[in-house]
Structure 1
Amino acid sequence: MGDGRRDFDFFIGRWRVNAKRLRRHFAGDQNWEPVSGETRVISILDGAGNLDEDRFRWSGQVYVGGMLRLYDAKRRMWTTYGLDRDSGAVQPPQTGHFMGERGEFFGDDQEDGNPIRVRHLYFNISPRSCRWEQAFSVDQEESWVTNWIIDFTRV
């Protein structure tokens, strides 16, 4: 794949979303909430970036957001930023790269005012589908709590 700037090419296009999200991240329960929706991903910056727009539905509400991904050719790393329509906020970045068919991205954030590590994974990548997972850690990556799982199927 060369220098890595084309790592996300598999994700360009339209996707149907079948997902679940953990209602309470650190409560110790496994109360998962089903999520459905659509994602559209476009390439920007001649392949050195991409932008997705998400429309997800759960518990009678609609979430509109997205993700901006930018490639740093000097560092050979991707940085991803979550985007939220309602708050207008750009979430703290996750930085990482692909190792073969698996992308791993890490960053710092807060949950209920407490510092956490965030991990985003992209894997099970095929021309028709892929999986994304988000997990949080409160113990310097000793353990992770997966709180979002999204299965994407190409439309």
Structure 2
Amino acid sequence: MIAITNFDFLVGKWSVLNKRLKERLKGCNEWIEFTAEMETKKILNGLIVMDEMKSTHFGDEFIGLSIRMLNPKKNEWKIYWADTANPEAMLKEQVIGKFENGIGEFLGKEIYEGKEVDLKFTWKKKDINTAQWEQAYYDKINEKWETNWIMLFTSIK
């Protein structure tokens, strides 16, 4: 695994294999897979890393937007999300965190099925051409994190 301290590794074009649990926080182990393409760029001299992801998995062309903003004094990132499936939600803050020992861990809260859940993103740079993102919810009943979405990124040259 490559040691990383920020999102520079994500700049460029990517093919993305998505794996999502069919049901979350219900002990489900059935995964749904679909593909997407993503393009990422830096703006404001790298203080912001922004991407646009496109997929047809959700019916009409789905577009998701991530904006990652760095607070250089704290070396901490805030990640925001918006997508065409929920245009009324606009841009929402999801998680805050940083990279340590080459792994990015970001924590926040999210409303899922009408309840607030603890949310965690984990970023890993596997090698020069691949990366991985995971999303997990904290399962309060079993007192552990349940990974419910995995994205495997492969660079498109």
TM > 0.5 between the two? Answer: yes
Q: Is structure 2 residue 135 aligned with structure 1 residue 134?
A: yes
Which position in structure 2 is the counterpart of 1:74? 73
CA contact (8 A) 1:34 1:58 kept: no
- C-alpha displacement at 1:27, in angstroms? 2.0
Distance 2:79 2:124 in 1: 16
Distance 2:148 2:56 in 1: 16
Q: Which runs of 4+ in 1 moved over 6 A?
A: none
**5+ unaligned residues in a row in structure 1: which ranges?**
none
Question: For 1:87-106, what per-residue CA distance to the aligned partner results, in whole angstroms no more than 9, with x for missing partners?
Answer: 22223320000012110000
Distance 1:12 1:126 in 2: 14
**5+ unaligned residues in a row in structure 2: which ranges?**
none
Q: Calculate percent identity across the aligned residue pairs.
A: 28
CA contact (8 A) 1:33 1:58 kept: no
- C-alpha displacement at 1:59, in angstroms? 6.4
Distance 2:97 2:133 in 1: 14
Amino acid paired to 1:34: E
Distance 2:98 2:105 in 1: 6
Q: How many residues align?
A: 151
* SS of corresponding position for 1:35: strand
Question: For 1:60-82, what per-residue CA distance to the aligned partner results, in whole angstroms no more than 9, with x for missing partners?
Answer: 55421121000001222000011
- C-alpha displacement at 1:140, in angstroms? 9.8
1:18-37 to 2 correspondences below 5 Å = 18-37=17-36
- C-alpha displacement at 1:138, in angstroms? 4.0
Q: Which moved more, 1:72-81 or 1:141-150?
A: 141-150
Q: Is structure 2 residue 154 aligned with structure 1 residue 149?
A: no
Instruction: Give the RMSD, CA atoms, in angstroms.
Output: 2.1
Question: For 1:90-125, what per-residue CA distance to the aligned partner results, in whole angstroms no more than 9, with x for missing partners?
Answer: 233200000121100000111111110110010143
Amino acid paired to 2:108: G
1:5-154 to 2 correspondences below 5 Å = 7-58=6-57, 62-88=61-87, 89-139=90-140, 142-154=143-155
* SS of corresponding position for 1:131: strand
Distance 1:116 1:41 in 2: 28
Amino acid paired to 1:99: E
Q: Larger relative contact order (C-alpha < 8 A, sep ≥ 6)? A: 2
